[in-house]
């Protein structure tokens, strides 16, 4: 082990002198993370907000219930709704501009809810009714949201109606007063099933952190290659013969190179985690979980790149192969853009890359529980173990080749 | 074969190595005693580098054994390698490290440390004439300086056996002379030296004993005198010539009084019983073959004559 440390110390001194490791390990990823964050952050931080109008020609309890539903959405800051007496809508105007249903030229909105006259009476008497949603051509998303709001309200009414019908004795004459009380009670009960969104809000990295993590793991594969490819460099400059002639175990040469890779990878990732946190505001998560993921992803990168170094004939060939593999894995693993959202085959293929597991682990860490990173850490360590074992066998032969 | 009264430092026997169908080394064996310089002389591709690669443990051998300072040495040995200093043919130093850092790194690999290492590094820097450039990166050195550092690394741990693989290839005459003087001084200090070369003059100047290797086989070994005696009291006729020298050499080879005749790089070499008796006839045959002779030298036999006598080929073929 002493020999491996000696070799690693010599290699690290060389890497510091030629500055290539510094460039690939810190400067390039930090610079690119900064650039990407600068580009994508404004896009991500742009918030959704819609302006709606209600034209209430009914004035009954159903219309009132709908306005209350809209008020609750207003409370969440998603939309603003205001009542108007009327809107004039021409079909050709709907497609022509975004303020087609405005009462006047100064008053525009993204969508309008038209509650027709006698809607409440029609609904309460069991005949049903319609709320019309008018969307502006220039605000398709806001119109879609408006449609969903109306649809949700309709579904809720349907549920209340079903509850009332179920509670009413069969063949009994409907007493309006009893019906009203039953409907009120059903409305207060609420839905028996509630949904909780955990993925979007708690298991996703923000754009800055995603870019910082993506760039870090992308360049990690180049940084780590300086260590394992060192064997081929020793051959190229002839010093491998000196190492083989020296009174040291052959495997200590490989161990020294692995140690160099590990040190370069850990230092590079640590600097990037700290720098992107301090300079870009990246939120990597709990330090313990991040540390586990960093160690594991460095280990997996070492294994993969060592296989390449062991099977290449020259340092140039290894460099080319490593670059191709690093870029391909980075794209597939979602370093530049998330492929997991694509679903299907792409999402499954991405799990063949350490990059995807690393980013997934960081995403899981956003939930706040350090233990959540264990599946990703396990997958990364498995990558490293399998490829590292294969590389060790190949390298042992390659050293004396 | 070795000098009596001195301890044996290297004993290698029956070394054999094949690369696919090619037998690079076939049964090579020799011994070197302490204070002795042994030259392995042969043309390029004769098997010199493969032989010393096996001796130094760089290459696993197919057969044979190597004993260094009483310890068996294989490619996986650790202890026995401490006794060997290796100077590869190509310059093998870290260009982005200084001369001192190069020496210190390899010194540590050989288990030297602390003040002993520092003293030894300073001593070697003095021996190789780089004391004033100790802290300069070796990539800034001239070719000769790099060669000297290359040799210095092999000497650093004061090995019992120093193996130099053609250390003067591509070196200017001044540096070459300095290297040869350094090597000559090493054997006087008790170090056993194995020196491979395809330069006859170097082998004659440095080596106490010489092994002649060709096509992977050791065809003869001994002191210079012993080897020359193999040729007998013959004369060597060297002709600088141009034209169909191969055909001319073959025609001369059949003459009475001619032992060997072979084309060399710049003409024809002939071993004859008495040059004075056969020179006129030899020149007649050669010129009749359409070969133009520019000059003729008649010498006492030397190692080149020995190689020609033993292999039928000139050393620099």
pLDDT tens column, A183-197: 666 666 655 555 454
Quick one: chain A helix, strand, coil %, rounded to 5? Answer: 70, 5, 25
| Chain A interface mutation, best of B109, B112, B165, highest count of A Cβ atoms under 10 Å | B109
pLDDT tens column, A245-302: 999 998 899 899 999 999 999 988 998 888 888 888 888 889 999 999 999 999 999 9
Beta-strand relationship, A132-135 and B267-272 = unpaired
Any idea what DSSP says for residue A6?
A: H
Do the Cβ atoms of A243 and B91 come within 8 Å?
Answer: no
pLDDT band of B298, cuts 50, 70, 90: confident
Do the Cβ atoms of B94 and A18 come within 8 Å?
Answer: no
Helix and strand totals (H; E) in chain B: 10, 14
Interface of A with B (CB under 8 A): 3, 6, 10, 13-14, 17-18, 237-239, 241-250, 400
**B111 inside 8 A of chain A by CB:** yes
Q: Which residue of A has its CA nearest to B90?
A: A238
More confident residue, B49 or A88: B49
Predicted local confidence at residue A186, as pLDDT: 64
Rounded mean pLDDT of chain A? 79
Which residues of chain B make contact with A250, given a CB cutoff of 8 A?
75-76
pLDDT beyond 60 at B123: yes
Q: Is residue A400 helix, strand or coil? A: coil
Long-range CB contact pairs, B118-122, < 8 A, 24+: B120/B156, B120/B157, B120/B158, B121/B156
pLDDT beyond 80 at A89: no
pLDDT band of A160, cuts 50, 70, 90: confident
Predicted local confidence at residue B171, as pLDDT: 75
pLDDT tens column, B70-98: 999 998 888 999 999 999 988 999 999 99
Note whether A126 and A173 are within 8 A (CB): no
Which residues of chain B make contact with A8, given a CB cutoff of 8 A?
none
Which residues of chain A make contact with B95, given a CB cutoff of 8 A?
237
pLDDT tens column, A213-223: 888 899 888 88
pLDDT tens column, A297-318: 999 999 998 888 888 888 888 8
Do the Cβ atoms of A10 and B91 come within 8 Å?
Answer: no
Q: Compare CB distances from B60 to A3, A14, A400 and report the shortest one's residue.
A: A400
Which residues of chain B make contact with A396, given a CB cutoff of 8 A?
none
Q: Return d(Cα A264, Cα A8) in angstroms, integer.
A: 10
Q: Return d(Cα B314, Cα B310) in angstroms, integer.
A: 10
Do the Cβ atoms of B81 and A239 come within 8 Å?
Answer: no
Rounded mean pLDDT of chain B? 87
Tokens of A203: 């298991």
Any idea what DSSP says for residue A370?
A: G
Do the Cβ atoms of A244 and B92 come within 8 Å?
Answer: no
Q: Buried (b) or exposed (e) across A191-222, using 16+ Cβ within 10 A?
A: eeeeeeeeeeeeeebbbbbbbbbbbbbbbbbb
In order of their start, the domains of chain B are: 8-228 (3.40.50.300), 233-300 (3.30.70.100)
Which residues of chain A make contact with B88, given a CB cutoff of 8 A?
238, 241-242
In order of their start, the domains of chain A are: 2-43+201-399 (no CATH), 50-195 (3.40.1710)
ipTM above 0.85, yes or no: no
Do the Cβ atoms of B86 and A247 come within 8 Å?
Answer: no
B316 φ, ψ (degrees, to nearest 5): -95, 20
């Amino acid at each position: 082990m002493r020999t491996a440390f000696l070799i690693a110390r010599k290699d690290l001194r060389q890497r510091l002198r030629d500055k290539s490791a510094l460039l690939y390990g810190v400067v390039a990823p930090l610079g690119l993370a900064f650039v990407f964050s600068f580009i994508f952050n404004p896009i991500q931080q742009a918030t959704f907000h819609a302006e709606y109008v209600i034209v209430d020609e009914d004035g009954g309890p159903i219309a009132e219930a709908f306005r209350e539903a809209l008020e609750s959405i207003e409370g969440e800051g998603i939309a603003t709704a205001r009542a108007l007496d009327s809107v004039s809508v021409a079909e050709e105007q709907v497609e022509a501009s975004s303020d087609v249903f405005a009462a006047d030229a100064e008053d525009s909105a993204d969508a309008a809810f038209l509650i027709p006259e006698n809607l409440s009476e029609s609904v309460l008497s069991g005949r049903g009714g319609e709320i019309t949603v008018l969307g502006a051509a220039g605000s398709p998303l806001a119109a879609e949201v408006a449609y969903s709001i109306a649809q949700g309200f309709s579904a809720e009414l349907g549920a209340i109606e079903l509850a009332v019908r179920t509670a009413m004795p069969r063949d009994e004459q409907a007493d309006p007063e009893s019906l009203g009380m039953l409907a009120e009670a059903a409305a207060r009960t609420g839905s028996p099933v509630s949904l909780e969104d955990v993925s979007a809000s708690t298991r996703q990295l923000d754009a800055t952190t995603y870019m910082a993590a993506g760039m870090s793991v992308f360049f990690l594969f180049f940084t780590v290659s300086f260590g394992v490819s060192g064997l081929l460099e020793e051959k190229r400059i002839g010093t491998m013969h000196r190492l083989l002639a020296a009174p040291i175990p052959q495997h200590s040469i490989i161990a020294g190179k692995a140690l160099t890779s590990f040190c370069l990878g850990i230092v590079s990732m640590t600097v990037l985690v700290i720098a992107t946190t301090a300079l870009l505001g990246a939120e990597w998560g709990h330090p313990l979980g991040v540390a586990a993921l960093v160690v594991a992803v460095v280990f997996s990168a070492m294994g993969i790149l060592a296989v390449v170094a062991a099977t290449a004939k020259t340092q140039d060939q290894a460099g080319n192969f490593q670059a191709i593999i690093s870029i391909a894995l980075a794209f597939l693993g979602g370093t530049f853009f998330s492929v997991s959202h694509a679903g299907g085959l792409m999402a499954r293929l991405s799990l063949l890359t350490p990059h995807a597991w690393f980013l997934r682990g960081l995403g899981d860490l956003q939930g706040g529980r350090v233990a959540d990173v264990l599946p990703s850490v396990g997958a990364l360590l498995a990558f490293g173990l399998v490829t590292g074992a294969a590389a060790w066998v190949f390298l042992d032969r390659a050293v004396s080749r | 074969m070795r000098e009596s009264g001195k301890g044996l430092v290297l004993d290698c026997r029956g070394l054999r190595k094949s690369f696919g169908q090619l037998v690079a080394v076939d049964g090579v064996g020799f011994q070197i005693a302490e204070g002795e310089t042994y030259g392995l002389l042969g043309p390029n591709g004769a098997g010199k580098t493969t032989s010393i690669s096996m001796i130094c443990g760089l290459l696993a051998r197919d057969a044979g054994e190597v004993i260094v300072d009483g310890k068996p040495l294989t490619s996986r040995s650790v202890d026995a390698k401490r006794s060997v200093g290796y100077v590869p043919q190509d310059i093998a130093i870290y260009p982005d490290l200084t001369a001192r850092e190069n020496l210190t790194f390899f010194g540590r690999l050989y288990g030297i440390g602390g003040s002993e290492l520092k003293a030894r590094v300073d001593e070697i820097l003095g021996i190789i004439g780089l004391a004033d450039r100790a802290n300069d990166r070796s990539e800034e050195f001239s070719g000769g300086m790099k060669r000297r550092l290359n040799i210095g690394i092999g000497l650093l741990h004061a090995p019992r056996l120093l193996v130099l693989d053609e250390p003067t290839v591509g070196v200017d005459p001044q540096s070459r002379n300095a290297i040869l003087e350094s090597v000559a001084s090493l054997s006087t200090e008790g170090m056993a030296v194995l020196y491979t070369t395809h330069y006859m003059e170097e082998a004659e100047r440095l080596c106490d004993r010489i092994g002649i290797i060709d096509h992977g086989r050791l065809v003869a070994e001994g002191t210079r005198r012993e080897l020359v005696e193999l040729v007998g009291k013959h004369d060597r006729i060297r002709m600088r010539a141009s034209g169909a020298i191969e055909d001319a050499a073959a025609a001369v080879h059949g003459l009475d009084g001619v032992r060997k005749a072979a084309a060399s790089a710049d003409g024809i070499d002939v071993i004859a019983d008495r040059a004075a008796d056969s020179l006129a006839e030899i020149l007649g045959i050669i010129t009749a073959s359409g070969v133009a002779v520019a000059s003729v030298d008649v010498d006492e036999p030397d190692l080149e004559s020995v190689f020609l006598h033993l292999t039928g080929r000139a050393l620099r073929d």
